[in-house]
C-alpha cells in the first residue's frame, strides 16, 4: 500500500507494522506536499460529485483530511510518487483517531471512480455476474493493500473462473430448455430491406427466392448483370410486386461498393439486413495461385464485407435495429490442403463476424442481430469435382438455403452444416496438430481438391 506523505514518520515501530496502524506522530507538511494534497483533494471532490451522501471535510489526528462518503466511514487523500491515492479506512473513530489493529486499502483516483461506478449499479436489477465483477475488482485492488498478496490474487482469480463457468452453464441450460420445451420464435421479416451479394446464382439466388415470400424488400448485387436482372424480374413476377431491385456491383472494387451503397440509400432506403454471401475459390495449391488470384479471393471473400458493413452499419447503429448475416464456410474453422487462400479468407470472415458481434454488444446495440453460416461443400457448382467423404457429403443447396432462412428468422448466432462440424470443432480444440493432420489424411480431406474443376 502506498504511504501517504501526511502519514510518513521518521520511525515505523514494530507494533505499528504488526497492527497495520500508522504512526500518530505528526510531521509538518512542506509546501510541495500541501500543493499535491490540495490537488488530490480537488480530484476527490470531483470524483465524488453526485455520490450518495455529502462529502464532509474533517481532520484526522495526524492532520490529514478525512471525508465521510456515503456508507464508508472515512476516506483520506494522499500522494505517493506524485500520484494521488484514496485511502479507505475502517479504523477511525468519531474523533478521527485510528483504531489499532485494523486494515485498509489504497486506490488510485481512477480505481476509486471505477469502484464507485460498480457500487452505484448495484440495485434490484443487478445480476449475479455484476456481483462477481464487483467482488473480483475489489479483491484485485486488495492486492495493493496490506492484505496477503497471494491470497487476494488467488481469490480474485477464483471469482473470475466462477463467473466464467456460471455464464457458460447458464446459457447451456437455457438453450437446452428452449430446444426441449419452448421451441424457436420466428421474427417478422416483412418490413426488412435486405441486401444480398452474389444473388445471381447459387445460395444467393436461393435465399433471395425464400425471403421474397416473406414480403421483404430485396436488393440483389452481383457482377453478372444479366443473370442478376433476370432473378429480380422472376421474383417480382412471383410476388406480384416491385420490391426486388437488381444492381451490378464489382465486389473487388471498394469504390464500386460505396457507389452502389449510395445508390441503394437514395433509391431504396436504409438497408436493415446485410447477407454477405458472394464468394470465389481458386482450388489451387499456394505456389500455383497467382498473386492476382489471391488478391481477388480476399477482395471478394472478406474485404468486401468490411466495405459493405461500413456503408450500411451506421444506419443500423442509429436505430439499434438490423441483422448481419455472414455466409462463411466450414473452411473458415479448419484449414485444408488445396484451399490455402480460400480457408484464409474464410477464417478472416469468421473473425470479422465474431469480433463485430462482440463490438455490437459492447456498444449496447443488441437490437442488431448477427448470424454466421459455416457449411461444408455444397452442390452449387462452385466446388464441382471435389471429392467428399462419408462424414462430409456434398450438401444440397435447397436444404442449405432453407436452413439459412430459418437461422435468420430465429436469430441463430451460428449455423454449422452439417451438424457434425460441431464435433469437429470440439475435436480440434482438444487434439494436437499432429492428430488433426492424420485425421484429415484418414478421412480423405488431404486430396479432396485433387479433382476440383469448379468455377475458378
Q: pLDDT tens-digit profile of 370-396?
A: 999 999 889 888 888 788 777 778 899
pLDDT at residue 297, rounded to an integer: 95
- Burial label for 250, CB within 10 Å (0-12, 13-18, 19+), is middle
Q: Which residue has the higher pLDDT, 174 or 363?
A: 363
Q: Is 77 in the same domain as 130?
A: no
pLDDT at residue 54, rounded to an integer: 35
Q: Is 257 in the same domain as 400?
A: yes
Q: pLDDT tens-digit profile of 299-324?
A: 999 999 999 999 999 999 999 999 99
pLDDT at residue 140, rounded to an integer: 57
Q: pLDDT tens-digit profile of 104-124?
A: 555 555 656 665 665 555 554
Q: Is 174 in the same domain as 278?
A: no
Is 450 contained in some domain? no
Is 451 contained in some domain? no
pTM metric for this prediction: 0.66
Question: How many residues comprise the chain?
Answer: 456
d(CA 177, CA 161): 24
Q: Is 292 in the same domain as 385?
A: yes
Q: Is 108 in the same domain as 125?
A: no
- CA 318 and chain centroid, separation: 19
Q: Going edge to edge, which strands form the sheet with 72-80?
A: 56-59, 65-69, 72-80, 83-89, 104-108
Q: Is 174 in the same domain as 202?
A: no
Q: Is 356 in the same domain as 272?
A: yes
Q: What does DSSP say about strands 193-197 and 217-222: parallel, antiparallel, or unpaired?
A: parallel
User: Quick check: 456 and 292 in contact, CB under 8 A?
Assistant: no
Q: Is the pLDDT of residue 198 over 80?
A: yes
DSSP string, 137-156: HHHHHHTTSSS-HHHHHHHH
User: Quick check: 400 and 210 in contact, CB under 8 A?
Assistant: no
- % of the chain surpassing 70 pLDDT: 63
Q: Is 330 in the same domain as 243?
A: yes
Q: Is the pLDDT of residue 171 over 50?
A: yes
Q: Is 229 in the same domain as 325?
A: yes
Average pLDDT over residues 359-367: 93
User: Quick check: 345 and 302 in contact, CB under 8 A?
Assistant: yes
Q: Is 2 in the same domain as 131?
A: no
C-alpha cell at 362: 459492447
Q: Is the pLDDT of residue 29 over 90?
A: no
Choose from 47-51, 95-99, 131-135, 197-201 the range with maximum mean pLDDT: 197-201
Choose from 104-108, 139-143, 290-294 the range with maximum mean pLDDT: 290-294
Work out how many domains the chain is built from and give that number.
3
- Closest C-alpha to 369, from 245, 203, 185, 229: 185
Average pLDDT over residues 196-224: 94
Average pLDDT over residues 400-409: 95
Quick one: pLDDT band at residue 167, thresholds 50, 70, 90? confident
pLDDT at residue 144, rounded to an integer: 47
pLDDT at residue 225, rounded to an integer: 93
Domain boundary among 60, 88, 112: 112
d(CA 419, CA 424): 9
Is 452 contained in some domain? no
Cell 436461393 belongs to which residue?
206
Domain boundary among 86, 112, 138: 112
Beta carbons within 8 Å of 263's beta carbon, 6+ residues apart: 247
Q: Which residue has the higher pLDDT, 328 or 430?
A: 328
Q: Is the pLDDT of residue 125 over 60?
A: no
Average pLDDT over residues 273-296: 93
Average pLDDT over residues 337-363: 94
pLDDT at residue 324, rounded to an integer: 97
Is 359 contained in some domain? yes
Determine the 3-state secondary structure of 173 from DSSP: helix
**How many of the other CB atoms lie within 10 Å of CB of 228?**
24
| Inter-helix orientation angle 31-47/109-120, to 10° | 20
Q: Active-site residues: which are they? A: 342
Distances (CA, A) of 412 to 122, 184, 205, 310, 406: 31, 10, 21, 23, 8
Q: pLDDT tens-digit profile of 32-73?
A: 444 544 554 554 454 444 333 333 445 555 555 555 444 444
Question: Residue 245's beta-bridge partner residues?
Answer: 219
pLDDT at residue 253, rounded to an integer: 95
Question: Residue 247's beta-bridge partner residues?
Answer: 221
CATH code of 283's domain? 3.40.50.720
Cell 422472376 belongs to which residue?
234
Domain coverage including residue 24: 1-112
Average pLDDT over residues 215-220: 94
Q: Is the pLDDT of residue 245 over 70?
A: yes
Is 188 contained in some domain? no
Q: Is the pLDDT of residue 16 over 60?
A: no
Domain boundary among 70, 87, 112: 112
Q: Is 127 in the same domain as 268?
A: no
pLDDT at residue 60, rounded to an integer: 53
Cell 444440397 belongs to which residue?
396
Is 148 contained in some domain? yes
Amino acid at each position: 500500500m502506498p504511504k501517504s506523505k501526511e502519514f510518513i514518520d521518521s520511525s515505523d515501530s514494530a507494533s505499528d507494522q504488526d497492527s497495520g496502524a500508522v504512526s500518530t506522530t505528526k510531521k509538518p507538511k512542506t509546501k510541495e506536499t500541501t500543493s499535491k494534497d490540495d490537488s488530490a483533494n480537488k480530484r476527490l471532490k470531483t470524483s465524488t460529485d453526485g455520490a450518495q451522501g455529502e462529502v464532509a471535510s474533517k481532520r484526522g489526528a495526524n492532520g490529514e483530511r478525512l471525508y465521510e462518503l456515503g456508507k464508508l466511514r472515512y476516506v483520506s487523500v494522499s500522494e505517493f510518487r506524485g500520484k494521488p491515492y484514496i485511502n479507505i479506512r475502517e479504523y477511525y473513530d468519531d474523533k478521527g483517531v485510528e483504531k489499532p489493529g485494523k486494515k485498509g486499502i489504497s486506490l488510485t483516483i481512477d480505481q476509486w471512480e471505477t469502484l464507485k461506478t460498480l457500487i452505484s449499479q448495484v440495485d434490484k436489477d443487478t445480476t449475479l455476474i455484476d456481483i462477481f465483477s464487483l467482488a473480483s475488482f475489489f479483491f484485485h485492488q486488495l492486492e495493493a493493500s496490506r492484505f496477503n498478496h497471494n491470497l487476494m490474487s488467488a481469490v480474485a482469480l477464483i471469482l473470475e473462473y466462477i463467473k466464467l463457468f456460471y455464464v457458460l452453464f447458464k446459457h447451456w441450460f437455457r438453450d437446452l430448455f428452449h430446444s426441449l420445451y419452448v421451441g424457436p420464435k420466428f421474427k417478422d421479416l416483412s418490413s426488412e430491406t435486405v441486401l444480398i451479394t452474389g444473388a445471381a446464382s447459387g445460395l444467393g439466388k436461393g435465399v433471395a427466392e425464400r425471403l421474397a415470400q416473406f414480403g421483404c424488400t430485396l436488393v440483389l448485387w452481383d457482377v453478372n448483370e444479366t443473370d442478376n436482372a433476370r432473378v429480380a424480374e422472376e421474383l417480382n413476377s412471383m410476388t406480384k410486386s416491385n420490391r426486388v431491385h437488381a444492381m451490378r456491383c464489382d465486389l473487388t472494387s471498394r469504390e464500386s461498393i460505396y457507389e452502389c451503397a449510395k445508390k441503394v440509400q437514395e433509391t431504396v432506403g436504409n438497408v436493415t439486413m446485410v447477407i454477405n454471401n458472394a464468394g470465389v475459390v481458386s482450388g489451387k495449391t499456394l505456389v500455383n495461385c497467382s498473386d492476382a488470384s489471391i488478391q481477388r479471393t480476399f477482395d471478394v471473400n472478406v474485404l468486401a464485407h468490411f466495405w459493405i458493413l461500413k456503408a450500411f452499419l451506421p444506419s443500423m447503429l442509429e436505430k439499434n435495429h438490423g441483422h448481419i448475416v455472414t455466409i462463411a464456410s466450414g473452411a473458415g474453422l479448419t484449414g485444408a490442403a488445396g484451399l490455402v487462400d480460400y480457408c484464409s479468407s474464410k477464417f478472416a470472415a469468421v473473425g470479422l463476424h465474431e469480433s463485430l458481434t462482440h463490438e455490437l454488444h459492447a456498444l449496447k446495440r443488441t437490437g442488431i442481430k448477427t448470424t454466421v453460416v459455416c457449411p461444408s461443400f455444397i452442390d452449387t457448382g462452385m466446388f464441382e469435382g471435389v471429392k467428399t467423404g462419408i462424414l462430409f457429403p456434398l450438401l444440397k443447396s435447397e436444404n442449405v438455403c432453407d436452413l439459412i432462412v430459418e437461422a435468420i428468422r430465429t436469430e441463430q448466432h451460428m449455423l454449422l452444416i452439417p451438424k457434425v462440424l460441431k464435433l469437429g470443432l470440439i475435436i480440434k480444440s482438444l487434439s494436437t496438430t499432429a492428430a488433426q493432420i492424420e485425421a484429415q489424411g484418414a478421412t480423405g480431406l488431404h486430396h479432396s481438391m485433387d479433382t476440383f474443376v469448379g468455377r475458378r
